């Protein structure tokens, strides 16, 4: 199915230069002069290699239709992730590279959505947010204004993020899986 380049979204699968690619990141750039263009970071489904490419907003790309299926993440087996179909309890192996930078947010028994083309897994979606413990947080600097300044913190999964000054080590917080940004303190 053809679609305009500016309609691409992360997680979609496109066909480009005779190969299938998963869109990882997209950025619309509007230079001072000339027309806007789309900078896209994508990963080759077969080889796992990353590629950056640019399209004009008016260009069209071939979007492949995918079937979404829910799985439960079981465990990592080397480079592969073992997923279980909650209905049939069959196990499916998916390469860990399919998640890219979001891999550390994957947790046991997490429900994930896998995009399939002709039964082959091509992309995986995680829940929008996850609750993690803050492993380390810098102390608050006296005189810092609470409204604008965030401080660096290390999460229990090894990912670094920025948190408000009142967050301390040992607290549980909610973060977005897309970019590891702070959402709120975990409730309960």
pLDDT in tens, 144-162: 555 567 889 999 999 999 9
CATH 2.30.30.30 intervals, the chain: 2-63
Confidence of residue 84 (pLDDT cuts 50, 70, 90): very high
Q: What is the pLDDT of residue 147?
A: 55
Q: Which CATH architecture has domain 67-125?
A: Beta Barrel (2.40)
Q: What is the pLDDT of residue 150?
A: 86
Q: What is the pLDDT of residue 48?
A: 76
The string of pLDDT tens digits covering residues 102-135 is 889 998 899 999 888 877 788 888 899 999 999 9
Please, which residues have CB within 8 angstroms of residue 145's CB and are 6 or more apart in sequence?
none
SS (H, E, C) the chain: CEEEHHHCCCCCEEEECCEEEEEEEEEEECCCCCCCEEEEEEEECCCCCEEEEEEECCCEEEECCCEEEEEEEEEEECCEEEEECCCCCCEEEEEHHHHHHHHHHCCCCCEEEEEEECCEEEEEECCCEEEEEEEEECCCCCCCCCCCCCEEEEECCCCEEEECCCCCCCCEEEEECCCCCEEEECCC
Residue whose C-alpha is closest to residue 182's, from 158, 162, 155: 162
Q: What is the pLDDT of residue 38?
A: 92
Distance CA 114, CA 121 (A): 6
CATH 2.40.50.140 intervals, the chain: 67-125, 129-185
Q: What is the pLDDT of residue 130?
A: 92
Fold topology of 129-185: OB fold (Dihydrolipoamide Acetyltransferase, E2P) (2.40.50)
Q: Which residue has the higher pLDDT, 79 or 188?
A: 79
Lowest mean pLDDT among 58-67, 91-100, 177-186: 91-100
Distance CA 150, CA 164 (A): 5
CATH code assigned to 2-63: 2.30.30.30
* Structural tokens at position 49: 């290699």
Residue percentage of the chain with pLDDT more than 90: 31
């Amino acid at each position: 199915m053809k679609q305009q380049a500016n309609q691409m979204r992360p997680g979609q699968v496109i066909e480009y230069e005779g190969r299938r690619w998963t869109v990882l990141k997209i950025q619309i750039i509007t230079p001072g002069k000339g027309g806007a263009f789309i900078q896209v970071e994508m990963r080759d489904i077969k080889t796992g290699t990353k590629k950056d490419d640019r399209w004009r907003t008016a260009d069209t790309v071939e979007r492949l239709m995918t079937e979404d299926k829910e799985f439960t993440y079981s465990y990592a087996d080397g480079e592969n992730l073992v997923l279980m179909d909650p209905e049939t309890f069959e196990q499916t192996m998916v390469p860990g590279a399919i998640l890219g930078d979001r891999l550390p947010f994957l947790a046991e028994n997490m429900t994930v959505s896998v995009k399939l083309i002709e039964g082959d897994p091509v992309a995986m979606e995680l829940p929008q947010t996850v609750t993690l413990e803050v492993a380390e947080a810098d102390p608050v600097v006296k005189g810092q204004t609470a409204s604008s300044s965030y401080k660096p913190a290390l999460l229990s999964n090894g990912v670094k993020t920025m948190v408000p000054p009142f967050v301390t080590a040992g607290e549980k917080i909610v973060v977005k899986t897309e970019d590891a940004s702070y959402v709120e303190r975990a409730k309960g």
